[in-house]
């Protein structure tokens, strides 16, 4: 323990959507001394790091923003249907300026450890720069897909060309001009990147292990009429995003697939395809829960691939998909399948030949050597828990978070973990997080945490932590919610941690729906923070109501999951 440290009421890790809003509420509403520690050199979180070619948000811009302030909402106008990283960073900069947040953010400050000190009920944080901070409340806003996953393919260190991971993309311009590029990965990122890389690459080789469904994004500049429309309808838009299961600004149909004829279905799917975007999965209520219903959507999308891609073998490699549509996070794209009609693009089907190693000048597969000047890893993330484990987080009695979560994360409502008092995790594991439009999930968490801390201060409570019983029951319910969907049927999904070698296979986000989740969080508060143990120095009385009053039964029947 050091004698030299900075001490504040609250520290937030991360200066993305979560960190900025949490700083505002704690500093400006509760008057707490608050600071944000951020590893990057500027605002943005996910959007600070993800600058890869073609990067774009898949939530529509008018819903991918804060809604806590009507004034802020109406002062900002988005230029395109789906914003890119620069425009999102500009937006966050606008919010930071408006709320004068920058003075309380310390950039270039990577937190390496956070230990709970029992004697003072404080968290002590150390940074890579060797600084030490203490705070009563520690809040993580570290994002869910922020820890890059670079597969352990033999030989990478010998490669003499350039290589990049999309999630750590250089700030300087990367030129693909006349270069032979190998892109590994065809998730949402790879599907966005390939068409843009192919525009200037000498040749692009796309290494595909698992083919993917994709629906056109149909991105476009927004008209002045549209901008005026969303500003005028702020209240209605907010009401919709806060009441849907996935936080998106559209309602999921209440019609089931087999309530309509084949002709009606084809018309409905075609209409959704033409409209573009993630709402394709909202065409019918049961697409994400009923395999046979899902098959009809899957078949429609596979046929689209076969229609677009001219080379029959390539089309089959792209369209032979053996898992349900939206079973993994469904990408949306701009000309992804069309890209394979270009002469300078080839698909390497890793179901037919696999990567053996990276050589000095290319990739060796079981069939051939492919010479390359650049390798791009669009290989995803150690999602949801990865960033936590990059820090040495220790709670009561020096127990580490890594140890506590070694068989999978165990939280209550994704907000707190037993044994880690006053540690609040925005969009933590076990909350809807990645299954929800992120800013909607973030606002709800920030506001819940703010009210909880306000309650603690008003009632002279020193520590709040989830009870073991509550966490155990919640983990059970998170599994139950996932099992009601087709999400658990995809063995290679990052929702399950299956993309990272050695990671336990546990479904991490809460699939029961943001609307249901919001109600459960409110219910816990109404029941005197049921499931949370509140302690004061002078008394050790636990929260008056324990979980027996807290009813998950209402949450049992999941008909419209939040995906
Ligand atoms: O990552 P992914 P992502 N050899 O894990 C392949 C969000 N996002 O960065 O499926 C060969 O989905 C892997 O293959 P497989 C969004 O939530 C949002 O694309 O494991 N291939 C897969 O094809 C998304 O879901 C936006 O068999 C290997 C790919 O790499 C999440 O980020 C935009 C491999 C990884 O796909 C992650 O998407 C972009 C190996 N050794 C992303 N290892 C928005 O618009 C992995 N792969 C907001």
pLDDT in tens, 507-562: 999 999 999 999 999 999 999 999 999 999 776 555 544 554 445 554 555 555 55
For residue 414, pLDDT beyond 90: yes
- Tell me: the pLDDT tens digits for 550-561? 455 545 555 555
CA–CA distances in Å: residue 6 to residues 119, 121, 134, 457 = 17, 15, 6, 21
Q: How close is the Cα of 389 to the center of ligand 1, in Å?
A: 20
Position 485 scores a pLDDT of 92
Q: Which residue's alpha carbon is nearest to atom 5 within ligand 1? A: 380
| Bridge partners, residue 246, by sequence | none
Q: How close is the Cα of 331 to the center of ligand 1, in Å?
A: 10
CB 82 within 8 A of CB 217: yes
Q: How close is the Cα of 494 to the center of ligand 1, in Å?
A: 8
Position 554 scores a pLDDT of 46
| Tokens 């049927």 sit on residue | 489
For residue 1, pLDDT beyond 50: no
44, 209, 347: which to mutate for ligand 1, most atoms within 8 A of CB?
A: 209
Least confidently predicted of 465-479, 488-502, 532-546 = 532-546
| Ligand 1 pocket list (CB less than 6 A) | 56-58, 145, 151, 184-190, 192, 207, 209-210, 329, 350, 378-381, 434, 492, 494, 499
**248 vs 544, more confident:** 248
Q: How close is the Cα of 531 to the center of ligand 1, in Å?
A: 35
For residue 231, pLDDT beyond 60: yes
Q: Which residue's alpha carbon is nearest to atom 43 within ligand 1? A: 379
Selection from 506, 58, 84 nearest residue 279 by Cα: 58
**Composition of the chain by helix, strand, coil, percent to 5:** 35, 20, 45
Q: Where are the alpha helices (DSSP H) in 106-166?
A: none
- Tell me: the pLDDT tens digits for 154-207? 999 999 999 999 999 999 999 999 999 999 999 999 999 999 999 999 999 999
CB 497 within 8 A of CB 508: yes
Locate the DSSP E strands across 107-259: 111-117, 122-127, 132-140, 162-165, 180-184, 203-208, 215-216
Cα separation, 379 vs 293, whole angstroms: 30
- Tell me: the pLDDT tens digits for 281-331? 999 999 999 999 999 999 999 999 999 999 999 999 999 999 999 999 999
Q: Which residue's alpha carbon is nearest to atom 1 within ligand 1? A: 380
Q: What mean pLDDT comes out for the span 380-387?
A: 95
- Tell me: the pLDDT tens digits for 252-275? 999 999 999 999 999 999 999 999
Q: Which residue's alpha carbon is nearest to atom 11 within ligand 1? A: 209
């Amino acid at each position: 323990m050091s004698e030299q440290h900075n001490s504040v009421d609250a520290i937030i890790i991360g200066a993305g959507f979560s960190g900025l809003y949490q700083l505002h509420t704690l500093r400006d509403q509760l008057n707490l001394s608050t600071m944000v520690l951020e590893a990057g050199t500027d605002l943005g979180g996910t959007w600070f790091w993800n600058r890869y070619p073609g990067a774009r948000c898949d939530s529509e811009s008018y819903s991918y923003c804060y809604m806590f302030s009507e004034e802020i909402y109406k002062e900002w106008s988005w230029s395109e249907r789906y914003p890119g990283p620069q425009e999102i960073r500009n937006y966050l900069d606008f919010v930071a300026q408006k709320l004068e947040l920058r003075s309380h953010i310390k950039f270039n400050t990577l937190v390496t450890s956070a230990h709970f000190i029992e004697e003072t009920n404080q968290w002590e944080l150390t940074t890579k720069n060797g600084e030490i901070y203490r705070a009563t409340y520690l809040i993580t806003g570290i994002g869910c897909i922020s820890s890059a996953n670079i597969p352990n393919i033999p030989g990478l260190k010998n490669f003499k060309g350039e290589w990049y991971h999309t999630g750590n993309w250089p700030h300087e311009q990367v030129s693909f001009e006349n270069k032979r590029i190998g892109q590994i990965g065809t998730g949402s990122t790879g599907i966005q990147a390939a068409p843009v890389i192919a525009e200037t690459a000498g040749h692009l080789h796309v290494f595909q292990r698992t083919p993917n469904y994709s629906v056109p994004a149909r991105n476009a500049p927004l008209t002045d009429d549209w901008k005026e429309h969303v500003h005028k309808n702020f209240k209605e838009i907010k009401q919709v995003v806060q009441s849907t299961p996935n936080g998106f600004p559209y309602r999921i149909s209440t019609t089931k697939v087999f309530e309509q004829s084949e002709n009606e279905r084809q018309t409905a799917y075609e209409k959704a395809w033409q409209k573009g975007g993630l709402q394709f999965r909202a065409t019918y209520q049961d697409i994400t829960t009923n395999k046979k219903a899902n098959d009809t959507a899957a078949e429609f999308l596979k046929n689209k691939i076969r229609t677009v891609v001219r080379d029959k073998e390539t089309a089959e490699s792209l369209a032979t998909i053996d898992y349900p549509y939206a079973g993994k996070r469904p990408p949306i794209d701009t000309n992804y399948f069309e890209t394979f009609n270009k002469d300078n693009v080839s698909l390497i089907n890793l179901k037919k030949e696999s990567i053996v190693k990276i050589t000095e000048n290319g990739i060796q597969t079981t069939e051939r050597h492919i010479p390359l000047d650049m390798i791009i890893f669009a290989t995803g993330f150690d999602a949801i828990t990865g960033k936590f484990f990059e820090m040495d987080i220790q709670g009561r009695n020096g127990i580490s978070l890594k140890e506590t979560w070694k068989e999978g994360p165990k939280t209550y409502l994704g907000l707190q973990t037993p044994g880690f008092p006053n540690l609040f995790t925005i969009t933590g594991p076990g909350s809807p997080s990645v299954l929800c439009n992120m800013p909607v999930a973030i606002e709800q968490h920030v506001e819940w945490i703010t009210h909880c801390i306000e309650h603690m201060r008003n009632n002279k409570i020193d520590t709040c932590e989830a009870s073991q019983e509550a966490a155990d029951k919640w983990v059970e319910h998170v599994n139950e919610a996932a099992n009601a969907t087709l999400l658990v049927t995809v063995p290679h999904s990052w929702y399950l941690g299956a993309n990272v070698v050695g990671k336990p296979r546990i479904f991490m986000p809460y699939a029961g729906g943001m609307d249901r989740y919001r109600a459960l969080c409110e219910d816990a508060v109404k029941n005197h923070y049921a499931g949370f143990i509140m302690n004061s120095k002078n008394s050790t009385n636990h929260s008056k109501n324990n979980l027996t009053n807290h009813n998950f039964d209402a949450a049992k029947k999941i008909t419209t999951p939040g995906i």
